[in-house]
Structure 1
Amino acid sequence: MDIPYYSQQELWRKLTSDQIGFYTDKTSSKIPEKPGIYAWFLPVDISGELSKAIRKYKEYQGYDSTIKNSYCVRGISEFQWSTLRYDAHITNDYRVQSTLENKWIEMSEELSGKKFKALRQAINLTSIFSKPLYVGLTKNLSGRYEQHLAGTRKNSFYKRFTDFSNEKGLDISIKQLIFCCIPFEHFSSLEEDFMDEDAIQVIEYIVKNISGPIFGEV
């Protein structure tokens, strides 16, 4: 197994082009000041106990923006002459395969430090396969990144994500997330009002309904 190892900044820089960019807080100064669509992703970094790491990410995936907490459903149902009350909560359980979890432990012990880090980085890249935490459109990608990071808007993504992380005792801050963006500069031949409010609302509506961002408000 020969997987190249890069620094965290170079790892995402290698995927970045004029058409799409992946940025961390260390490379955020490179985010273009141009209109475009963006998404926040949770970086998948598996370290320590595998089960604990997986459960941490499952915790984020169970977030419900309506109640600002983990998803739950409550209700009343009638059966014959009885009334049933139900209360179900999403959990961070998953389908455990002990054989594969033991193989992960073996690999962490047998591979050299650098090779194991390279393996973790390969997993880190799969962060973009996961459901986005938040999706939006803006006339200034760089400016919107700073707005989210500062939590300048009431009930913003920053507040929802930070409050949930703190409440659940999780160790991921918004600065550790991956900011992915697609500048619309390749549409420069279109009229300047291409990114008017109607266009923004329509594109956001389509993308959010397809991608289902976890921390986006419905």
Structure 2
Amino acid sequence: MATKSDETHPRPPRPRNSRATKAVLLAAATSEFAERGLAGARIDRIAERAGANKRLLYVYFGDKEALFEAVLRHEIGQLLKETPLTDGDLVAFAAARFDYMLAHPETARLAAWRRFEHAHWSETEIESYRTRVDAVAAAQRAGRLDDSLPAVDLFAVVLRITESWLDAPPALRAVAGTQPLSAERLDEHRAALLESVRRITAPRRSGPERDASGA
């Protein structure tokens, strides 16, 4: 007989090998941490979601904090894969990141929990940002991006812009007149954010070209 908990979190088919088991556990942990954060998550609930013995969580991942770090590493890997910063193109990056966060709300919620309750950072996270900042700096040196701001600050500004509407206060969203957000409003915001990134990151003209334009 199915229990109320079973109806809330249907158990997935039990995998037959360790790799599949780890994947199911990681997916269950991702959902639990996205909903409740590190402090509120419970190993028992994660095991129940996965339809597995909670002992396997400790065997494969260690304690709850180590499991949280494993979830973050996986999410960072997926995010890096789906939001490349090719040749320092911050406009294309902003578009890809907005689309990814919109399609993967669990990733956005994990990022928020990460900022609010997890004070230290991992080498994986540091390296993921370092490679992006280095790409921006290289594009600035090559003249493809505005170099009036330090690379790390320019990247930080663009990063926040990509989430400016998805992470906006509900009252501000209500000002737009649609709650929940309509597809039309999201399209309008996406176009606005990309135009903002273009204006912020475009190389500044100087010398005769700027004088001739009257700018």
Task: Provide the TM-score with structure 1 as the length reference.
Answer: 0.24
Question: Higher helix share goes to which structure?
Answer: 2
Specify which structure has the bigger relative contact order, considering alpha-carbon pairs within 8 angstroms and separated by 6 or more residues.
1
- Larger Rg: 1 or 2? 2
TM-score, structure 2 length as denominator? 0.25
More strand by share: 1
